[in-house]
Amino acid sequence: MMLDTRRYDDREHLTLASYAMHSRDSQGRKHDEGEHSYRGPFARDRDRILHSSAFRRLSGKMQVFTGEMGIYHRTRLTHTIEVASIARTMARVLRLNEDFTEALALVHDIGHPPYGHCGEDALSECMQRVGGFSHNGFASVIVEELEQRYADFPGLNLTLEILDGQVIRANKAHAAIGIAPLLEVQLVDAADSMAYDAHDVDDALQLGLLSMHELSELAIVRRALEMIKQRCGTDRIRQLRQALVHQLIDLQVTDFLQESSERLLPCQSLHAGDVRHAGVRLEHSDDLRRERGELEAFLFDAVYRHQRLIPVRRAAYHRVQDMFQVLTGDPKRLPLRFRRRTETRPIESVVGEYLAGMTDAFCDTQYRYATDGSTGPLADW
């Protein structure tokens, strides 16, 4: 049977809005590979990301809570999957490119170091001489250099649109020059924060770091609880925590879609590049933006800086800092692949990359080996 090679193009033509990122308009890849016979370029990107080892390692990286606190809460992997699912739903409703959206969502946290934001803070401090550390910047290094899957080129050779999306996340410089990111990039950013606002509430409640009473002081939570009561009746609310999380996601997504649909109304005949240059932003309504701001400020103090996380942050910080010192002081202890990278890059950058690629548990074991008096090289991940 002959394969219908451009079927994805026809489907996109029928289903996507003009301002979506169409596969036929992709600028392609750094290393030319020709087209796949039946997968579009962004579906191919998605598959490459999904099959990368950096993606698999997300399962061993904490989002906010460490594995020592149990196995209920999110890891970077489950967070990423939740983001992809929310973003894909929104892309479908707004007639944006789902494959492109999914690929962007799956790659968005691939550069996170071990130990969540504590790991990032520790690395940033250690790497000051080379400009600090950013997980978005490191994601570009992973997909362009460190993943080794092809004989002809390093990295995953993703489309320039995916790479650009990651660079935009790293720089956030577009805001200053009035050019907006592609709509799908904006959508993933929004899905990211909607997912973590809701799941951090869920995890914190489940771990007993917060009470429903404290949360109900917040306008967005009161709004969600009211919606649940209207739907279920006050005496029939079972599993309130789960219902709250679902409602928080639902109300944020609904508001975002309503507001975005209105903003896109005047753009019906524009193309992806036009809406970028017109500076079109997809956002929540003003009211919800305010309420989300209140929730995020609350989570920052009450959860991300909770007493139970202080020893976790401290231990992570010291582990990263000690290993950084051992390895910058004695580069022979780096695995061979990273020793080679020191020929062309500052030692601080290479040690930072090596540490950032680790999972939490791998970092724990390598830390023990780095500091127990051994002298051999540490393991590659």
Ligand X SMILES: Nc1nc2c(ncn2[C@H]2C[C@H](O)[C@@H](COP(=O)(O)OP(=O)(O)OP(=O)(O)O)O2)c(=O)[nH]1
Q: Is 117 in the site for ligand X (CB under 6 A)?
A: yes
Q: What CA–CA distances, in Å, run from 214 to 16, 193, 206, 303?
A: 43, 21, 14, 12
Binding residue for ligand X (CB under 6 A) from 64, 84, 251, 253? 64
Question: Is 136 an interacting residue with respect to ligand X (CB under 6 A)?
Answer: yes
> Of 200, 291, 353, 360, which one interacts with ligand X (CB under 6 A)?
200
**Residue 313 lies near ligand X (rule: CB under 6 A):** no
Among the listed residues 63, 80, 101, 366, the single contact to ligand X using CB under 6 A: 63
Choose which of 40, 60, 114, 116 interacts with ligand X (CB under 6 A).
116
Tell me how far, at minimum, the Cβ of 145 lies from ligand X, in Å: 20
Q: Does 348 bind ligand X (CB under 6 A)?
A: no
Compare residues 188 and 378 and give the one whose CB is closer to ligand X.
188
Residue with tokens 């301002």: 19
- At residue 178, the 3 state secondary structure works out as coil
CA dihedral 24, 282, 30, 99 (to 10 degrees): -60
Can you give the three-state secondary structure of 198-236, one letter per residue? HHHHHHHHHCCCCCHHHHCCCHHHHHHHHHHHHHHCHHH
The dihedrals phi and psi of 305, each to the nearest 5 degrees, come to: -115, 25
Q: Do residues 358 and 316 make contact, with C-beta atoms less than 8 angstroms apart?
A: no
CB 201 → ligand X: shortest distance, Å?
A: 10
Nearest distance from residue 340's CB to ligand X, in Å? 29
In the bound complex, what is the minimum distance in angstroms from residue 131's beta carbon to ligand X? 16
334: three-class secondary structure by DSSP: coil
Q: Which stretch binds ligand X (CB under 6 A): 23-31, 39-47, 109-117, 255-263?
A: 109-117
Residue closer to ligand X (CB basis): 12 or 197:
197
Q: Per CB under 6 A, which region of 19-27, 192-200, 274-282, 366-374 contacts ligand X?
A: 192-200
Measured distance CA(159)–CA(28) in Å, rounded:
5
Residues 228-247 vs ligand X: string with x where CB under 6 A?
--------------------
DSSP H helices, 37-115, are 41-50, 53-57, 76-93, 98-107
Number of residues forming the site for ligand X (CB under 6 A):
11
Q: For residue 62, what is the DSSP state? A: B
Which residues in this chain contact ligand X in the complex, by CB under 6 A?
A: 63-64, 109, 116-117, 136, 169, 192, 196, 200, 304
